[in-house]
Amino acid sequence: MAQLALRHRMEHLLADVRPEWVRPSSIHLSVTWKCNLNCLHCDIPVTGQRERPLLTQEQICEYLIQLKEWLGPYQFNIAGGEPFIRSDMLDIIEFATRKGIKVNLTTNGMLLDEEKARRLERSGINSLNISLDSLTPEIHDRTRNHPGCHSRVMAVIERLNRPRDYCLVLSTIVMGPNLQELVPLADWVESRGLNGIIYQPLFSTFGRPYRPDWWRGNELFPKDLAEVDRVLDALIAGRRDGSATVNGVEQLEAMRFHFHNPAAAALPRCRVDVKNFSINEYGEALLCFWLPPVGNILEQRPEEVWRSVLAHQRRQEIRDCKRNCSLLNCHFS
């Protein structure tokens, strides 16, 4: 642990001088913008159709190989949209794991039938995150804007929660409607033998221009700040006692600050510019989900994009950024 902390400190020092010399530690790949749900906290339902060709299976696999040639062994996070809308999603996972690449994937779980679940178990996946906002059906169905979603997802979790060689984790949005459900969810995860639960605070979505007052009038933003404190106190105490909560104490405290002061930055400068390398469904490379791309992996190798003049310019923008999104999971992954 001490060696890891020292390495991170050295990376930060080097990044302050020559950030392009630091290799990314978190790789993110969005495989599709399409989704089978219309969640209230998401921008996919309102940003409309995007008629551009998505990365093909062959292009994704070539990119994964190029990353390994650059980084050596690594792990990457797959998201969407809903990844399993792609008929080749399991093929991509299996290709990556055969090449010694660790795969983490986030899904709403709705498309994981028995056949896919069985194949997923044999795929060599490292971690599967399933979205669940509440143990109460009415709350989850409301936030996911889909009647019957809760029962489907719970059935999928039960189907997958058997002896396995991968981590099964819940992914939960922290928002007003489910505040009282967050601690029971963590307790349920432990009682069912799942591997963890990771919380993501409600925030402005990346698909639309950022507004500093995005939270005003947002029906999902917590109104009862005393309840926010009570819940976060309990989650922090549980985390210190070794509970199933994946988020660290620093991030949980940042969430508290965020909900009390939504227009202020909860943490110092964001470090995504030196640790995150994200590729969207079109092959465009991003250092931050809110800023324009720094290149395209269909035109350059990933290390060339990472070290490009445009990436350097974007890092300067991130250093000067005053937005308060550094409490999100992309900063802590």
Alpha helices (H) along the chain: 2-17, 44-47, 57-71, 89-98, 114-122, 137-143, 149-160, 182-192, 225-240, 249-260, 272-275, 302-306, 309-320, 329-332
Tokens at residue 293, please? 């791309």
* Confidence at 7, pLDDT banded by 50, 70, 90: low
Residue 4 pLDDT level (bands cut at 50, 70, 90): very low
Q: Tell me the torsion sign for CA atoms 311, 317, 320, 325.
A: negative
- How confident is the model over 85-90, as a mean pLDDT? 98
pLDDT band at residue 258 under the 50/70/90 scheme: very high
Q: If you write DSSP's letter for every residue of 161-209 in order, what string do you get?
A: -SS-SSEEEEEEEE-GGGGGGHHHHHHHHHHHT-SEEEEEE----TTS-
Contact 332, 248 (CB under 8 A): yes
Across the chain, what does the average pLDDT equal?
Answer: 91
What's the pLDDT band for 101 if we cut at 50, 70, 90? very high
Q: Would you say residue 3 has pLDDT above 60?
A: no
Mean pLDDT calculated for residue range 106-121: 96
pTM of the model: 0.91
Encode pLDDT of 127-144 as tens digits. Answer: 999 999 999 999 999 999
Over range 72-99, report the average pLDDT.
96
Helix/strand/coil for 136:
coil
* Mean pLDDT value of segment 170-188: 98
Q: Are 253 and 261 in contact (CB under 8 A)?
A: no
Mean pLDDT of the region 159-171: 95
Rounded to 5 degrees, what are φ and ψ at 239?
Answer: -60, -40
- When pLDDT is cut at 50, 70 and 90, the band that residue 8 belongs to is low
- 48-75 residue pLDDT tens: 556 789 999 999 999 999 999 999 999 9
pLDDT surpassing 70 at residue 100: yes
pLDDT band at 303 (very low <50, low <70, confident <90, very high): very high
Quote the pLDDT of residue 305. Answer: 96
- Does residue 168 have a pLDDT over 60? yes
Rounded distance between C-alpha atoms, residue 235 and residue 196, angstroms: 13
The mean per-residue pLDDT over the stretch 319-331 comes to 79
Taking residues 43-49, report their average pLDDT. Answer: 66
Share of the chain above pLDDT 70, in %: 92
pLDDT grade for 154, boundaries at 50, 70 and 90: very high
* pLDDT at res. 265: 84
Helix axes 249-260, 225-240, angle to 10 degrees: 180
Which of 141, 83, 151, 155 has its CA nearest to residue 113? 155
Mean pLDDT along residues 22-31:
92
In angstroms and rounded to an integer, the radius of gyration of the C-alpha atoms of the chain is 19
Q: Does residue 205 carry a pLDDT above 90?
A: no
Q: Give the residue with greater pLDDT, 264 vs 122.
A: 122
| pLDDT at site 307 | 92
The answer to whether the CB of 225 falls within 8 A of the CB of 176 is: no
Contact between residue 34 and residue 81 where contact means Cβ atoms under 8 Å apart: yes
Taking alpha carbons only, the member of 152, 135, 134 closest to residue 143 is: 134
**Structural domains for the chain:** 26-332 (3.20.20.70)
Q: What is the arithmetic mean of pLDDT over 101-109?
A: 97
Please state the length of the chain. Answer: 333
